[in-house]
């Protein structure tokens, strides 16, 4: 993709609708090659957790594997307890891990522990709390039980061969444990891509530094590294580069060769110091766009000659955050062939109204009340730099291009961020 004034970047060009831009971004993505990782190898865990499955996985065996006790107590033939209280002869004990299968005759029982295989001749468990008078050899059963009481049936959770997880699903803690429990040993997955963050701007100083006039604390690297981490996509590299075209070129070449994606902020506007855009305009497969979006209008996206995808976001912090949310995060998930690229959008009732720019999608940071109603977290007239108010944001109200006024009581779509 060559830079193109018809693409919405040039003066007077029609701004590109965000949905069209997202489609173009996703078309750039080539999913990462899958790799095989082991559930048994502790060294594989960091890459496995948060990776995306590249195969469907069926249960290798039933879950539970065999009929077993749900409680600590006594395995019984339920019919023997019908006249409770009743004394039964205790033949022994079956702890978890035991492969024993003692044969119970009429009036006989064995002590059994949670998770231990139920003897084939038993059909129920009496909880230890419902017994008394244990003497070696006998126990008093105080409660009658029905067949099946406190018994976990083989395969009641998942039958052998039933699906446990599907390609495209992320390996959360719960899914990993389900796969291990269902007998998986190794998995074909797409681990998190290798991502670099590159912030540019001569005015930026390390947080906490003494500031001269014209200087501000650099905050976008924390923003992007944090958004990435909160998405299960840790940044491999975070760098700050001055607004020098030669240095920016050199860092893009180096980072682009060592990472799957480079995310930058700053220098994409039309100004003469907007170095990132100027350098990226020399890249044959990177395109500068101006989107019908506020905030987050100017961006560059494409593939660097060095190999990595590049997402050049605006320097304004809230603009960068919106660009990350609407385009970068879905693209990074597409690199892993994630089945769900976008965050859920929920409907929310507006508590305090605001204005929205006609002809643009507005992404307004909002906070929720305890009933899920939303109110602006920042002044809707100046979203892009309002990093202070943005700190409390819990989501973005997405207001379409045909709406210029949002009123209290309106229902709006809100893209919900994690708490
Ligand atoms: N003449 C025009 N000027 C601007 C236009 C325009 O169309 N015509 N567009 C505006 C819009 S919209 C945006 S968004 C910004 C895009 O800005 P850049 O990507 O060029 O970003 P910078 O100029 O480098 O910085 C903007 C702003 O953000 C602060 N910043 C940058 N990086 C950081 C950081 N790492 N941490 C904290 N703050 C950062 C920077 O100091 C500026 O205040 O352009 C508008 N201008
Ligand atoms: O697109 Mo800019 O983010 O409106 O300020």
| Residue-wise DSSP of 296-318 | --EEEEEE-TTS-EEEEE-SSHH
pLDDT of residue 271: 86
Q: Is residue 227 part of a domain?
A: yes
Q: Is residue 161 part of a domain?
A: no
* Residue 6 reports pLDDT greater than 50: no
pLDDT of residue 56: 98
Q: List Cβ<8 Å contacts ≥24 apart for 134-140.
A: 134/90, 136/90, 137/89, 137/90, 138/87, 138/88, 138/89, 138/90, 139/74, 139/87, 139/88, 139/90, 139/109, 139/111, 140/85, 140/86, 140/87
Q: Is residue 295 part of a domain?
A: yes
Q: Give per-residue burial for 259-287: e unless 16+ CB within 10 Å, then b.
A: bbbbbbbbbbbeeeebbbbbbbeebeebb
81-111 residue pLDDT tens: 999 999 999 999 999 999 999 999 999 999 9
CATH number at residue 225: 3.40.980.10
311 and 373 belong to one structural domain: no
Average pLDDT, the chain: 95
Which helix (DSSP H) or strand (DSSP E) does residue 256 occupy? helix 245-258
If you measure from the C-alpha of residue 315 to the centroid of ligand 1, how many angstroms do you get, rounded to a whole number?
4
Q: By the 8 A CB rule, do 322 and 393 touch? A: no
pLDDT of residue 286: 98
355-397 residue pLDDT tens: 999 999 999 999 999 999 999 999 999 999 999 999 999 999 9
Tokens of 15: 């701004």
Q: Which ligand is nearest to the CA of 263?
A: 1
298 and 173 belong to one structural domain: no
CATH number at residue 43: 3.90.105
* Residue 36 reports pLDDT greater than 80: yes
Q: Is residue 250 part of a domain?
A: yes
Q: Is residue 157 part of a domain?
A: no
Of 287, 308, 335, which one is at a domain's C-terminal end? 335
Q: By the 8 A CB rule, do 349 and 413 touch? A: no
Atom of ligand 2 nearest to the CA of 294: 4
Of 152, 177, 207, which one is at a domain's C-terminal end? 152
Domain of residue 243, residue span = 5-32+193-335
Domain count for the chain, please give it. Answer: 4
If you measure from the C-alpha of residue 274 to the centroid of ligand 2, how many angstroms do you get, rounded to a whole number?
14
Of the listed ranges 35-39, 135-139, 314-318, 373-377, the least confidently predicted one is 135-139
The separation between CA 367 and the C-alpha centre of its own chain, rounded to angstroms, equals 21
297 and 249 belong to one structural domain: yes
pLDDT of residue 136: 75
209 and 133 belong to one structural domain: no
Atom of ligand 2 nearest to the CA of 291: 1
Q: Is residue 158 part of a domain?
A: no
Q: By the 8 A CB rule, do 411 and 350 touch? A: yes
If you measure from the C-alpha of residue 398 to the centroid of ligand 1, how many angstroms do you get, rounded to a whole number?
22
Residue ID of nearest Cα to ligand 1 atom 19: 314
Q: By the 8 A CB rule, do 321 and 223 touch? A: yes
Mean pLDDT computed over 145-172: 98
CATH number at residue 395: 2.40.340.10
CATH number at residue 147: 2.170.190.11
Categorize the per-residue pLDDT at 5 as very low, low, confident or very high, splitting at 50, 70 and 90: very low
If you measure from the C-alpha of residue 192 to the centroid of ligand 2, how many angstroms do you get, rounded to a whole number?
29
86 and 99 belong to one structural domain: yes
**Ligand 1 pocket: which of 298, 300, 320 to mutate (most atoms <8 Å of CB)?**
298
Q: Check pocket membership of 265 for ligand 2, CB cut-off 6 A.
A: no
pLDDT of residue 135: 75
Q: Give per-residue burial for 92-114: e unless 16+ CB within 10 Å, then b.
A: eebeeeeeeebebeeebbbbbbe
pLDDT of residue 8: 56
Residue ID of nearest Cα to ligand 1 atom 9: 269
Q: Check pocket membership of 294 for ligand 2, CB cut-off 6 A.
A: yes
**Ligand 2 pocket: which of 16, 290, 319, 325 to mutate (most atoms <8 Å of CB)?**
319
If you measure from the C-alpha of residue 269 to the centroid of ligand 1, how many angstroms do you get, rounded to a whole number?
6
182 and 210 belong to one structural domain: no
139 and 206 belong to one structural domain: no
Does residue 176 sit in helix, strand or coil? helix
If you measure from the C-alpha of residue 385 to the centroid of ligand 2, how many angstroms do you get, rounded to a whole number?
8
Residue ID of nearest Cα to ligand 1 atom 30: 315
Of the listed ranges 60-69, 117-126, 131-140, 347-356, the least confidently predicted one is 131-140
Query: What DSSP character marks residue 130?
Result: G
291-350 residue pLDDT tens: 999 999 999 999 999 999 999 999 999 999 999 999 999 999 999 999 999 999 999 999
Categorize the per-residue pLDDT at 13 as very low, low, confident or very high, splitting at 50, 70 and 90: confident
9 and 28 belong to one structural domain: yes
**Ligand 1 pocket: which of 208, 244, 316, 382 to mutate (most atoms <8 Å of CB)?**
316
Q: What is the ipTM of this complex?
A: 0.98
47 and 183 belong to one structural domain: yes
Q: Is residue 159 part of a domain?
A: no
pLDDT of residue 2: 41
Q: Is residue 9 part of a domain?
A: yes
If you measure from the C-alpha of residue 296 to the centroid of ligand 2, how many angstroms do you get, rounded to a whole number?
4
Nearest CA among 78, 72, 77 for reference residue 145 = 78
122 and 177 belong to one structural domain: no
How many whole angstroms separate alpha carbon 390 and alpha carbon 142?
62
15 and 127 belong to one structural domain: no
Q: Check pocket membership of 219 for ligand 1, CB cut-off 6 A.
A: yes
**Ligand 1 pocket: which of 241, 301, 315, 319 to mutate (most atoms <8 Å of CB)?**
315
Atom of ligand 2 nearest to the CA of 298: 1
Tokens of 260: 């799957």
264 and 330 belong to one structural domain: yes
Q: Are strands 57-58 and 68-69 parallel, antiparallel or unpaired?
A: unpaired
Contacts with 80 (C-beta within 8 Å, 6 or more apart), sequence order: 86, 88, 106, 107, 108, 109, 141
Q: Which ligand is nearest to the CA of 383?
A: 2
Q: By the 8 A CB rule, do 238 and 228 touch? A: no
pLDDT of residue 11: 63
Task: Provide the β-strand partners of residue 198.
Answer: 239, 264
Residue ID of nearest Cα to ligand 1 atom 5: 269
Q: Which ligand is nearest to the CA of 214?
A: 1
Mean pLDDT computed over 218-240: 97
Of 335, 356, 376, which one is at a domain's C-terminal end? 335
If you measure from the C-alpha of residue 28 to the centroid of ligand 1, how many angstroms do you get, rounded to a whole number?
25
Categorize the per-residue pLDDT at 273 as very low, low, confident or very high, splitting at 50, 70 and 90: confident
How many whole angstroms separate alpha carbon 74 and alpha carbon 378?
63
Tokens of 189: 């997955």
Q: By the 8 A CB rule, do 77 and 122 touch? A: yes
pLDDT of residue 7: 47
If you measure from the C-alpha of residue 343 to the centroid of ligand 2, how many angstroms do you get, rounded to a whole number?
22
């Amino acid at each position: 993709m060559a830079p193109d004034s018809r693409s919405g970047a040039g003066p007077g060009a029609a701004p590109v609708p965000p949905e069209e831009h997202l489609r173009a971004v996703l078309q750039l993505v080539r999913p990462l090659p899958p790799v095989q990782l082991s559930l048994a190898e502790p060294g594989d865990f960091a890459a496995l957790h948060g990776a995306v499955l590249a195969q469907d996985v069926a249960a290798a065996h039933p879950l539970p594997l065999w009929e077993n006790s749900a409680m600590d107590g006594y395995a019984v033939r339920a019919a023997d307890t019908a006249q409770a209280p009743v004394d039964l002869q205790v033949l022994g004990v079956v702890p978890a891990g035991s492969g024993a299968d003692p044969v119970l005759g009429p009036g006989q029982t064995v002590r059994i522990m949670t998770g231990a295989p139920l003897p084939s001749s038993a059909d129920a468990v009496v909880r230890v709390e419902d017994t008394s008078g244990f003497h070696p050899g006998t126990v008093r059963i105080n409660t009658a039980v029905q067949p099946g009481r406190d018994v976990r049936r083989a395969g009641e959770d998942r039958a052998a061969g039933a699906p446990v997880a599907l390609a495209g699903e992320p390996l959360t803690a719960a899914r990993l444990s389900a796969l291990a429990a269902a007998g998986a040993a190794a998995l074909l997955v797409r681990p998190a891509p290798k991502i670099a963050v590159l912030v540019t701007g001569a005015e930026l100083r390390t947080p906490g530094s003494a500031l001269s006039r014209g200087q501000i604390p650099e905050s976008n690297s924390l923003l992007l590294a944090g958004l990435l981490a909160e998405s299960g996509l840790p940044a491999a590299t975070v760098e700050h580069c001055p607004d020098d075209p030669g240095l920016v070129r050199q860092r893009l070449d180096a980072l682009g060769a060592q990472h799957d994606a480079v995310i930058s902020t700053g220098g994409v506007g039309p100004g003469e110091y907007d170095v990132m855009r100027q350098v990226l305009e020399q890249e044959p497969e990177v395109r500068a766009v101006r989107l019908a979006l506020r905030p987050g209008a100017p961006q560059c996206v494409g593939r660097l000659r060095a190999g990595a995808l590049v997402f050049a976001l605006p320097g304004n912090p809230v603009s960068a955050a919106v660009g990350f949310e609407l385009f970068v995060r879905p693209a990074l998930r597409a690199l892993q062939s994630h089945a769900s690229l976008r965050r859920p959008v929920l409907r929310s009732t507006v508590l305090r109204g605001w204005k929205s720019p006609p002809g643009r999608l507005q992404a307004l940071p909002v906070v929720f009340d305890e009933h899920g109603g939303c109110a602006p977290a920042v002044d809707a007239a100046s979203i892009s730099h309002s990093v202070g108010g943005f700190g409390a944001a819990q989501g973005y109200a997405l207001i379409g291009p045909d709406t210029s006024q949002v009123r209290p009581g309106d229902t709006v779509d809100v893209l919900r961020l994690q708490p």
